[in-house]
Amino acid sequence: MNDLFDLTDKVALVTGGSRGLGRELVKAFAQAGADVIISSRKKKACEELAAEVEQSTGRKAIPLSCHVGCWNQIDDLVDVAYKSFRRIDILVNNAGISPIYRSLNDVSENLYDKVLDVNLKGPFRLMVLIGSRMAADQGGSIINISSIAAIRPQAHVIPYSAGKAGLNAMTVGFAHALAPKVRVNCIMCGPFLTDISKAWNMASFKEQTKTFALRRGGEPHEIVGAALYFASNASSFCTGAILRLDGGTP
């Protein structure tokens, strides 16, 4: 059974990989046997995690700085990644941003563009560049990290919700565009208690969780099972899927 989830000698690139859910995915892929490319805007954090991964798993880990909202930086990221490994077997579009705004009138053009660039434009460009190479080579798996906000938009996250709804749509579109050698799937996350949750009003959140089927937020490591499924041969007949991983939010 373990062979189904084995990633030995695969190469995985994770955006937003230095913290939160991305950090958990990087560590899980390496533990499953993959070499990893850790990408985020913060090079030092990527370097620290890369050193930790290499020491604890023996797998190769390369830290690369990239702002996925910038087209040219994405092109450079892909060039360096392929020069380092010659192939990428697993791409995880995890980087995301959801700035706080007091009212919709406070949403500037710059803020709106920034949210859509990181959450939608970046994944599009990465799937075009890496997905096309996967399709021309040995195939691969692409995993998009979306949000329950894509289908449950609220007033304080409208641009973010729009970006994630677009990512859901692109998951299905790219599944067809890159078939049959590349599988493209999506994990639509509910609230996870990552470092970002430190800024939440936890009293209000605990009250909100009373409406969740599981009555709690997710722990970061709880994304690993779904990600390993999509990354590995365990999901060999699965593409274009959008998996809700939200603890049963209403």
Cβ atoms 180, 132 nearer than 8 A: no
Measured CA to CA, the distance from residue 131 to residue 184 in angstroms comes to 9
Annotated catalytic residue, options 82, 101, 160, 229: 160
**pLDDT at res. 197:** 76
Which tens digits make up the pLDDT trace of 136-149? 999 999 999 999 99
Residues 239, 184: contact at Cβ < 8 Å? yes
DSSP letters for 105-172: GG--HHHHHHHHIIIIIHHHHHHHHHHHHHHHTT-EEEEEEEEGGGTS--GGGHHHHHHHHHHHHHHH
Quick one: tokens of 168?
A: 């859901």
pLDDT for 200: 74
- Spell out where the chain has E strands: 11-15, 35-40, 61-65, 90-93, 140-147, 182-189, 242-245
Global pTM value: 0.96
Q: Average pLDDT over the chain, rounded to whole?
A: 96
pLDDT tens by residue, 171-228: 999 999 999 999 999 999 999 999 877 777 788 889 999 999 999 999 999 999 999 9
Q: Is the pLDDT of residue 168 over 90?
A: yes
Q: What is the pLDDT of residues 63-110, one digit of tens each?
A: 999 999 999 999 999 999 999 999 999 999 999 999 989 999 999 999
Q: Where are the domains of the chain?
A: 2-245
Return the pLDDT at 70. Answer: 97
Per-residue pLDDT band at 132 (split at 50, 70, 90) = very high
Helix (H) / strand (E) element for 191: namely none
In the prediction, which pLDDT does 210 show? 94
pLDDT in tens, 25-66: 999 999 999 999 999 999 999 999 999 999 999 999 999 999
112 is catalytic: no
pLDDT at position 134, please? 98
Domain over 2-245 is classified CATH 3.40.50.720: yes
- DSSP one-letter code for 21: H
Arithmetic mean of pLDDT, 239-247: 98
Tell me the average pLDDT across 120-144: 98
pLDDT, residue 54, reads 98
